[in-house]
Structure 1
């Protein structure tokens, strides 16, 4: 029985599609090779520090579609890693800017220099016409996002879970009404996201929340103060 081919919302030049195919395959290979004994020995976060694990393709396509739907022109990505999901965000923003008016920016953040350097290589391969909207802030995210934040349409939290709440609180004053917050792995890493989820789901929270049943979960929250 032939597998069903579902449509992709992503509109990109052939060389970008080819690059994304290759990077998602590399990510899958790396994820399949995760050594559970080493994870236990080193701790999950230390073990994953230099690993190339990208946002799952279906999640990345969903975030792209959502960014297009809300006409997001200013996006903050907390946790850029090797820059794969950033390409999807830049594709969406570049199309939203073309379709509308005003500048667009994807503010990408990464603490690990080796990952930031690799991300830049991937973006160079895509080309400045698309990735020229990316502004990479390298270093401690709690410092790099302290200043010079424009009003934010979408925040993607794909970062070390214990600091996710601190990052949200840092960006929250700049979220426009109706802005969307996406957090990855909120089912698979629910204990690590305990504080974030309690904050966002509190009775007096300014966020409305929905957990999407992607692999390990994807939280979609809308900011409505």
Structure 2
């Protein structure tokens, strides 16, 4: 039976386990204080907050169809969605006849060092190709710290940006990356319905025709915005 993504059984099993852990953790969360407050950040500092499996599979297949090879993930957490991104990028590189190293890259960002370390552990278990020992880590450039600092340079020409971060950072991150976006680049923003009011600034920015974007809402739980960058010539 076919699966939504192309990956070795070991990697599929790891992803299934990680998604299960994330859902279990999410279901047991206590009532949360307002987002981005110190109390909220403390509670969430060791939580998955992983992109849902159906969304992650969609993003993987989108990247495969785009032949995306230079991807940025704003908000890595425990690195679950990063595995999908790295699988797609490494497979695109292989399809194009590239060697892998230096031919494709996922720039992953995480502010919490503890989460970054856990992400590295998860990546070390995931195999990207059919060959033994071919891990996904080879295409991942993990940048730990404030992403508004870590994304200031060395981005190359960006094919895809995943915005899976606290909503106040969404628009500043997009503006920071925008000069590096190629024409036709895709931006995906998560939970744009469940956090509708918090995304007002981002929505107004991308809906302004002067800024070169087109936006559509995809029918996933919580909302998923697909934004295309097509700057005027």
Give the Cα–Cα distance (whole angstroms) in 2 for the partners of residues 139 and 29 of structure 1: 27
User: Is contact 2:156-2:180 (8 Å) kept?
Assistant: yes
Structure 1 ranges of 4+ moved more than 4 A: 40-46
Matched with 2:190 is: 184
Matched with 2:120 is: 120
Q: Given the two structures, how large is their TM-score scaled by the length of structure 2?
A: 0.89
Structure 2 residue ranges without an equivalent (≥5): 128-133
User: Is contact 2:184-2:230 (8 Å) kept?
Assistant: yes
Matched with 1:12 is: 7
Matched with 1:74 is: 70
1:205 aligns with 2:211: yes
From 221, 224, 227, the equivalent of 1:218 is 224
Give the Cα–Cα distance (whole angstroms) in 2 for the partners of residues 139 and 54 of structure 1: 19
Deviation at residue 51 of structure 1 after TM alignment: 1.2
User: Is contact 2:78-2:115 (8 Å) kept?
Assistant: yes
Give the Cα–Cα distance (whole angstroms) in 2 for the partners of residues 19 and 109 of structure 1: 21
CA displacement 1:122-160 (0-9 Å, x = unmatched): 011114532210000110101100011110000000011
User: Is contact 1:39-1:47 (8 Å) kept?
Assistant: no
Matched with 2:109 is: 109
Sort the Cα spacing of 1:182 and 1:166 in 2 relative to 1 into closer, same or farther, 3 A: same
Q: Given the two structures, how large is their TM-score scaled by the length of structure 1?
A: 0.92
CA displacement 1:35-58 (0-9 Å, x = unmatched): 12x446976555323212210000
Structure 1 segment 162-173 matched on structure 2, within 5 A: 162-173=168-179
Give the Cα–Cα distance (whole angstroms) in 2 for the partners of residues 49 and 185 of structure 1: 19
3-state DSSP class of the match of 2:156? Answer: coil
Structure 1 segment 8-47 matched on structure 2, within 5 A: 8-36=3-31, 38-39=32-33, 44-47=40-43
Structure 1 residue ranges without an equivalent (≥5): none
CA displacement 1:58-84 (0-9 Å, x = unmatched): 000000010001000000000000000
Q: Once superposed, what is the RMSD of the aligned Cα atoms?
A: 1.8
Sort the Cα spacing of 1:118 and 1:130 in 2 relative to 1 into closer, same or farther, 3 A: same
User: Is contact 2:74-2:161 (8 Å) kept?
Assistant: yes
Give the Cα–Cα distance (whole angstroms) in 2 for the partners of residues 222 and 95 of structure 1: 23
Give the Cα–Cα distance (whole angstroms) in 1 for the partners of residues 126 and 161 of structure 2: 22
CA displacement 1:77-116 (0-9 Å, x = unmatched): 0000000000000000011001114500000000001100
Matched with 1:51 is: 47
How many residue pairs align between the two structures? 219
